[in-house]
Homo-oligomer: A and B are copies of this chain.
Amino acid sequence: MPLSERIENAVDRALALSQGEQAPERLSGALVYATTPGGARIRPTILLSVAKACGDDKPVLSDAAASALELMHCASLVHDDLPCFDDADVRRGKPSVHRAYSEPLAVLTGDSLIVLAFETLARTAEVDCTRATKMILSLTRRTGMPNGICAGQGWESEPKIDLGAYHRSKTAALFVAATEMGAISAGHDPEPWYDLGALIGEAFQVADDLRDALMDASSLGKPAGQDDLHGRPNAVSEWGVKGAFERLSDILAGAIASIPSCPGEAALAEIVRMKAQSIMPKVPAGNRV
């Protein structure tokens, strides 16, 4: 089964846990709206690719991990879009959750998706309790405080930003969760997989900054120029467009070089190379790099 199909099936199964006859209908709808149809599903794709490279001996675990990670990512998008943060009207080409439903339902959608992510992982304990709790611990570390995506978003409320910590936690953390949980799901030690996640995350951040600076809202599927608008530190303001492109290539080369020795090492390198190609921003006509 192609990875994309495994991911959609796993997300659907996880979402089904959140639905029920006695549940409030609008919030139920908002959970589905916030998670389907998905974006590129790049984090769970990396997770499953790492799991496959490690043998993927218990696909029930890697599927659950993939959906949990994607739910957590969607939760972060819903909360980041709230009026008190980005105040984004559009996400993935349709109205953001607080625009389509309401602000209270957007807060609750994020909260519910966070909880659902952990429920999805905890349910795999009957297959392998040790791996289940290790995956839960990885996800908590990469999402909460002091080093997860909550911390990353928290840096934007500081008078003085630690840029390294900001980027590591804001964007790289969930990619680290992807490589760590992929390894754990297949019974491998997560530690050697940290660098791959961190480097892919860094590449993603730079690519995102470039897109934010170079593209317009209709191509992005969300408002453009947000970094400048909110005065947020970003790769383009730091190194310029050309410098950011060079940096992106270097990071991706480092990511491929960092892949630990494992049964599916070569295939995984090929996947990272392809994903790298797909995140490389296109320079719009008229813009010179």
Q: Which residue numbers of A lie inside 8 Å of B, CB to CB?
A: 18-20, 22-28, 31, 75, 79, 82, 84-85, 101-105, 107-108, 110-112, 114-116, 118-119, 122-123, 125, 129-130, 132-134, 136-137, 140-141, 143-148, 150-151, 153-158, 162, 165
A20-B147, A111-B79 known; A26-B84 Cβ under 8 A: no
Across the interface, which residues of B come within 8 angstroms of A154, CB to CB? 23-24, 26-27, 105, 108, 112
Query: Can you give 25 A-B contacts (C-beta < 8 A)?
Result: A20-B145, A24-B165, A25-B158, A27-B151, A27-B157, A28-B145, A79-B111, A82-B107, A84-B107, A101-B157, A102-B157, A107-B107, A108-B153, A108-B157, A112-B145, A112-B150, A112-B151, A114-B115, A116-B140, A119-B137, A122-B133, A122-B136, A122-B140, A123-B137, A129-B130
Across the interface, which residues of B come within 8 angstroms of A134, CB to CB? 125
A36 CB, nearest partner CB in chain B, Å:
15
A29 CB, nearest partner CB in chain B, Å:
10
Across the interface, which residues of B come within 8 angstroms of A31, CB to CB? 145
Among B84, B104, B132, B133, the residue within 8 A (CB) of A103 is B84
Across the interface, which residues of B come within 8 angstroms of A116, CB to CB? 140, 144-145
Across the interface, which residues of B come within 8 angstroms of A27, CB to CB? 145, 150-151, 154, 157
Are A20 and B146 in contact (CB-based, < 8 A)? yes
A222 CB, nearest partner CB in chain B, Å:
18
Q: How many copies does the complex hold?
A: 2
* A76 closest partner in B (C-beta): B111
A127 CB, nearest partner CB in chain B, Å:
11
Are B153 and A104 in contact (CB-based, < 8 A)? yes
Across the interface, which residues of B come within 8 angstroms of A23, CB to CB? 145-147, 151, 154, 165
Across the interface, which residues of B come within 8 angstroms of A28, CB to CB? 145-146
Extra pairs beyond A18-B144, A20-B146 (20, CB < 8 Å):
A19-B145, A19-B146, A22-B146, A24-B158, A28-B146, A31-B145, A82-B107, A84-B103, A85-B107, A104-B157, A108-B154, A110-B111, A114-B115, A115-B144, A115-B145, A118-B140, A119-B144, A125-B134, A125-B137, A129-B133
Chain B CB within 10 Å, residue with most, of A31, A125, A165: A125
Are A143 and B129 in contact (CB-based, < 8 A)? no
A136-B118, A140-B116 known; A150-B111 Cβ under 8 A: yes
